[in-house]
Structure 1
Amino acid sequence: MNSAAKAAIWVAAITAVGGVITAVAVALINRPNEVKPGGDITSTPTQAAPKPTPPPTTKSPAPAPFAVTLDSVLPRGAHKSISSKEGLAAKGTVKNLPPGYSIWLMDRDDTDYSIAQSARISNETWIAESYPLGDPSQAVPYHMTVVVVRANGVCTSELRKRVRQDKYQMTDLPKGCAEAAQQDITVSEK
């Protein structure tokens, strides 16, 4: 074989190999496949590795909200209306009362609170009474407000101390006390 024939074979071989390399390169560019290190062609596009999912955190459920209602204020005794001497009976509901807390019934006029009593609680129902009401010399009818107070341990201790000392009147609620419900009433009998 002469040198011209050998040169032609080499040119044809190099052209063929170049064409194959070009075809493979074009196919790789136009395909969504990737070439992994080591030359393996895969049929799936490259995706970022998923971020590890942190373990679920365990949160304590939020405590149910405290709620108190004042559902009824009725005359105490045989009276048809609220009298200053016989007073009143009040009833309501309480839900999720925190440990160490209590419910108190009080009367409030324009200037002072007057402690009536700590409410008795049974099956989410509270009851309490307040008597006598107001100043016995006060002319009827007059208006006042029945107040339900939520008391933490500090407030409960202070209210009990005041009751033991016969100091039922106060201008402000003690620390740890908060009004939870109220209802305006009319005292219409002596």
Structure 2
Amino acid sequence: MDYSERLMRVMLSDLPDGVGTFEDFCDGDGIVEDGEDEDSTFAIRMRVRKTGDALEVDFAGSDPAVSGPINAPLSVTASGVYCSLKMIVDPGSLIPPNSGAWRPIRVTAPEGSVVNASFPSPVVYANHEISHRVADMTFGAMSSFMPDNVMACSQGTSGIITLGGLDPRNGQRYVSYETIKGGWERDRTKMASMLSQPVSQIR
């Protein structure tokens, strides 16, 4: 872990210092609240400061946790940040990805926000939605002061489709949980169900 930390600090030091911000919106949480005609969007706001061999990511100003199961605990939010930073800082994959690699990176978010939710806020889709959105936001924020080191964003979502019902042939319940993720780094991502992409998305 100490070795990973040293490598991360060395590679961070090689990149320019700077501050970047990014704001993004999710179309909704899947819940139409009382008094609403449609699902409401919610905002995620990020500020990145890179100084020397360390980096701070702050989500101050992000919206409060929502009613639907799309909130993220801070650990999931941080995983989206780490994923993108690893690609930016270490494109050759030289740093072993363990907790030591993340020591120079500080991720903070307001408690009770959509990116730092606490009980009883539902979080089941966080890994497929918020972490992907945060990963893309990290690319956006970092590109403002190191554009040559940052790749283009993906869809910022896994595009989950969940189908369920009662099979009329045998009376058994069924459920299908499909991830319809977009491309990342000139290829489809390595999600479990990627070979079932709809043709309309591939066109």
Shorter-chain TM-score: what band? under 0.3
Question: How does the TM-score come out when normalised to structure 2?
Answer: 0.26
- Higher helix fraction (1 or 2): 2
| Structure index of larger Rg | 1
- Higher strand fraction (1 or 2): 1
